[in-house]
Structure 1
Amino acid sequence: MKLRLRLFEFEDLPWFPAVVRAGMMDYLRFMISALGTYRPIVPLLAEGLRRTGQTQLLELGAGAGGGTETVWRALCAAGLPEATVVLTDLYPQPAAWADVAARTAGAIRAEPGPVDALAVPEHLPGLRVIFSAFHHFPPAAAEALLRDAVRAGRGIGVFEGAGKHWWELLLAWTALPVAQLLLTPFFRPFRLSRLVFTYLVPVIPLCTIWDGTVSLLRLYAPAELLALAARADPAGRYAWQAGKKRHWWGPEVTYLVGWPASN
């Protein structure tokens, strides 16, 4: 699917109710973790950590931390037991982050204050990664995010849990909303507000359908990701690669990774 539209997403709007945003993030975290969406790109992350001499992933735009625990456990199993993750977001999700921190004995922890992915503070080191969120940035901002990593000399990995196909839109309109309605009572940590805004006033599932559709339409293709990287790194200081990694059961992950070429 080559169509690319820049429509709005509810979760990007500053006035959007935090309780509804949190409910949407809880759903995404559950589904990404349950499906192991980002397992195919664990070898890329392991390579990035080794090439940059890091043991820490700095996750930007982490939302509720969807899939992060699965990725961390896969890294440990891949021979990197010292790997840690720091979660950051412009809109922090302390309740969700505390839950994953407790389950991982602090190997996954959070930066409590807001963090702008376009201007990451110097005191936050690590291989920068962004899962399921790069499409939120229009081209100028996406380029600025990559440029900030180059300026700081940090490795960067951008990952989207889709390959941008028409059948993925069909899933977003049919099977996934049904799954959301069936699985919501099992999301943790428990929130009464999540039940209210899913079943009594179904704002969470309706906004999720809209945002999921728009997300697919806003995804950057690998060629577009490489073009953004070239503009962010005009001196060619970094080694970049982009493409798609496929799950054994079908779905794809679109990715861009880059690190200083000297490494």
Structure 2
Amino acid sequence: MRLFEFGDQPWLPRVLRDGETAYLAMAYRLLPLARAWADRIIASVQPHHCVTILDLCSGAGGPLEQIIEEFTARGYRVSVTMSDMYPFGRSRRHPAIHWHPDPVDARKIPAELAGIRTMFSAFHHFDWEAAHAILENAFRCRSPICIFEAGAGNLLGVASMLLVPLNVLALMPFVRPFRWAYLILTYLIPVLPLMILWDGFVSMLRIYSTDQMRQMVSGLKASDYVWEIGALRVQRIPGALPYVIGRPVIPG
């Protein structure tokens, strides 16, 4: 179902876009998603000791700091380049993270941006044609790509969004970077709780199923590139969370 999300609209005031992405980054820190995603990336892509990640549609950074911690705990050295069509640029500073300053279209990655491409909870923002183009670009470039969703896209997931306004009220004072405008738009003029609730509902309805993901890659076949599609079970999150991973075949 292709309903609109406020966060996708170019006319959305920057303070509202940044408030939503900052809240989502805070929510990621409270859920055990990063461990499950890091485990899946390592098992599927089998990266070298030094890992370079190009994160797409980064927003405020989402789970990236936690992803880095999970990789580091397993003995990897990680560097991350964050990118977005609307670069946030004010996320928490981490020595392993830097922002690409220019807008990046996930459908056509600039040649100078290399690394394992990741996308966390953003694939559903794209219509079928654009989503297919993202996968096709990785396939044509023979670049590894790991796409994960943070929701199951089923009725239980939709129902769970009813808790979002309460979560926004509870968490907004703790988001970083802190801005007084976020509090005003949460408690005095509750635009952010309502906007994030709507976007959460729509996100759940837009999430591609594993069958749809298989359809997307059905024409992207080569002997030197493989696709893996599945769904992860994560504590405290209802349903199974779909993912798609593409990677060049590892010699030997």
Whole-Å Cα distance in 1 between the matches of residues 125 and 173 of structure 2?
28
Runs of 4+ with deviation above 3 angstroms: 51-54, 234-237, 248-252
Secondary structure in structure 2 of the residue aligned to 1:95: coil
The letter of the residue matching 1:200 is: L
The letter of the residue matching 1:61 is: C
Partner of 1:47: 43
The letter of the residue matching 1:15 is: W
Q: Does 1:27 align with 2:23?
A: yes
Q: What's the CA shift for 1:116?
A: 0.8
The verdict on how the C-alpha distance between 1:180 and 1:48 changes in structure 2, with shifts beyond 3 A counting, is same
Partner of 1:145: 134
Whole-Å Cα distance in 1 between the matches of residues 26 and 62 of structure 2?
7
Partner of 1:121: 110
**What CA RMSD, in Å, does the superposition of the two structures yield over aligned residues?**
1.7
Whole-Å Cα distance in 2 between the matches of residues 92 and 248 of structure 1?
31
Partner of 2:151: 162
The letter of the residue matching 2:84 is: D
Identity of aligned residues (%): 36
Partner of 2:177: 189
Residue by residue over 1:156-175, the C-alpha shift from the partner in whole angstroms, topping out at 9 and shown as x without a partner, is 111001122322212212x2
| Corresponding residue to 2:225 among 238, 241, 244 | 238
The verdict on how the C-alpha distance between 1:146 and 1:239 changes in structure 2, with shifts beyond 3 A counting, is same
Q: What's the CA shift for 1:48?
A: 4.5
Residue by residue over 1:45-72, the C-alpha shift from the partner in whole angstroms, topping out at 9 and shown as x without a partner, is 1135535886111100011111111111
The letter of the residue matching 2:85 is: L
Partner of 2:213: 225
Unaligned runs of 5+ in 1: none
Aligned residue-pair number: 250
Structure that is richer in helix per residue: 1
Q: What's the CA shift for 1:95?
A: 1.2
Matches of residues 6-25 of structure 1 in structure 2 within 5 Å? 6-25=2-21
The letter of the residue matching 1:75 is: F
The verdict on how the C-alpha distance between 1:38 and 1:227 changes in structure 2, with shifts beyond 3 A counting, is farther
Do the aligned partners of 1:36 and 1:67 also contact (CA within 8 Å) in 2? no
Residue by residue over 1:168-213, the C-alpha shift from the partner in whole angstroms, topping out at 9 and shown as x without a partner, is 212212x221011122111111101111111122111111111100
The letter of the residue matching 1:83 is: V
The verdict on how the C-alpha distance between 1:110 and 1:49 changes in structure 2, with shifts beyond 3 A counting, is farther
TM-score (norm 1): 0.89
Whole-Å Cα distance in 2 between the matches of residues 8 and 47 of structure 1?
35
Q: What's the CA shift for 1:24?
A: 0.5
TM-score (norm 2): 0.93
